[in-house]
């Protein structure tokens, strides 16, 4: 890659730029965003080489364009850059919902471009902004690519190599399966954490509640501090899969609530044991993956 344009130079876009520069995988990184102060900061931090606040200007002459903005801005951006895209420009994104990205692209382009490779790095934390960017954010993490039928193998290989250069393990799957899995493992837990923190904050005893809470609640609610705009857009973009996950979750909560109501200790014990064992299995998977990376 000679020249890459990253639209949205925050935690995710900025960390990608840092990692590509670290590995000399790109000659020039152009940033794009609406906040000049933040883009100047990105230059200071060595994250980007230059910037342009106009997307159509920023992507000119780029080999690769990365859309690292909230889901709700994707379609507008695609419309803005469409007139200046070269035939062989590769376009990828980092959004948390993939079917809606394909819908947006279909809306803008009619036929999906060969260069479009929807992607989603499973990385990040509750921080945001370019100051939070880290050169090793993607080290050992998964990146899911959901190429469509017209995606060229050249574009797919280029995006795959880009993420592998950053230390990520790249997987391909259908956009629908991606959305289902992410709804279950990320979007649902965020909604649950948002709900819990709101419930606690609205309690008449909220002062005592936060005063006497311990480390377990800190871990459990960490994701509630994530960016509200990003999560609004995720909920709008992956609505159907999220609502289905909430419904399944409610059925499980119903079952647990019923055994508490009936003081059914045996069922509680077996249900908690199953959860305990499943969590231990999950922890071992994560630990093994960290040892590998």
Site for its own copies in 86-145 (CB under 8 A): 122-125, 141-142, 144
Shortest Å, Cβ 210 to its own copies = 5
Among 32, 85, 101, 191, binds its own copies (CB under 8 A): 191
Of the candidate spans 4-12, 59-67, 101-109, 210-218, the one that interacts with its own copies by CB under 8 A turns out to be 210-218
**Is 20 in a helix, a strand, or coil?**
helix
Shortest Å, Cβ 88 to its own copies = 31
Residues between 5 and 64 with contacts to its own copies, criterion CB under 8 A: none
Do the bridges between strand 142-145 and strand 169-172 make them parallel or antiparallel, or are there none, so unpaired?
Answer: parallel
Shortest Å, Cβ 57 to its own copies = 29
Give the integer Cα–Cα distance in Å for 210 and 223.
Answer: 16
Among 23, 34, 275, 293, binds its own copies (CB under 8 A): 275
Number of residues near its own copies (by CB under 8 A): 94
* 291 is an interface residue for its own copies by CB under 8 A: no
For its own copies, the closer of residues 154 and 288 by Cβ is: 288
For its own copies, the closer of residues 111 and 251 by Cβ is: 251
Shortest Å, Cβ 94 to its own copies = 13
Element (H, E) at 252: helix 239-261
Contact between 11 and 137 under an 8 Å Cβ cutoff? The reply is yes
Among 149, 212, 291, 292, binds its own copies (CB under 8 A): 212
Give the integer Cα–Cα distance in Å for 186 and 168.
Answer: 19
Cα–Cα nearest to 139, from 168, 119, 162: 168
Question: Cα–Cα–Cα angle for 13, 19, 21, nearest 5°?
Answer: 100
Give the integer Cα–Cα distance in Å for 265 and 260.
Answer: 8
- β-strand partners of 144: 120, 171
Give the integer Cα–Cα distance in Å for 95 and 121.
Answer: 8
Shortest Å, Cβ 113 to its own copies = 26
**Mask for 232-271, x = binds its own copies (CB under 8 A):** xx-xx--x--xx-xx-xxxxxx--xx--xx-x-x--xx-x
Shortest Å, Cβ 50 to its own copies = 32
In terms of Cβ atoms closer than 10 Å to its own Cβ (0-12, 13-18, 19+), residue 225 is middle
Among 10, 186, 291, 292, binds its own copies (CB under 8 A): 186
């Amino acid at each position: 890659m000679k020249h890459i344009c990253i639209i949205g130079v925050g935690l995710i876009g900025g960390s990608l730029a840092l990692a590509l520069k670290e590995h000399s995988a790109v000659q020039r990184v152009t940033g794009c965003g609406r906040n000049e102060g933040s883009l100047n900061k990105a230059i200071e931090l060595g994250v980007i080489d230059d910037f342009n606040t106009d997307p159509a200007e920023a992507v000119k002459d780029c080999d690769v364009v990365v859309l690292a903005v909230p889901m709700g801005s994707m379609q507008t951006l695609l419309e803005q850059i469409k007139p200046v895209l070269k035939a062989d420009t590769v376009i990828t994104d980092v959004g948390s919902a993939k079917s809606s990205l394909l819908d947006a692209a279909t809306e803008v382009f009619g036929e999906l471009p060969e260069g479009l490779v929807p992607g989603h790095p499973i990385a990040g934390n509750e921080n945001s902004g370019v100051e939070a960017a880290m050169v090793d954010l993607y080290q050992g993490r998964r990146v899911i690519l959901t190429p469509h039928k017209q995606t060229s193998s050249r574009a797919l290989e280029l995006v795959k190599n880009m993420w592998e250069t950053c230390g990520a393990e790249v997987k391909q799957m259908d956009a629908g399966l991606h959305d289902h899995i992410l709804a279950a493992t990320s979007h649902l837990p965020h909604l649950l954490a948002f709900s819990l923190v709101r419930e606690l904050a609205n309690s008449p005893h909220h002062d005592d509640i936060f005063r006497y809470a311990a480390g377990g609640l800190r871990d459990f609610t960490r994701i509630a501090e994530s960016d509200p705009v990003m999560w609004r857009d995720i909920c709008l973009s992956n609505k159907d899969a999220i609502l289905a996950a909430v419904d399944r979750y409610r059925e499980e909560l119903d079952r647990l609530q019923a055994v508490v109501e009936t003081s059914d200790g045996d069922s509680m014990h077996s249900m908690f044991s199953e959860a305990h064992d499943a969590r231990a299995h999950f922890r071992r998977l994560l630990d093994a993956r960290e040892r590998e990376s």
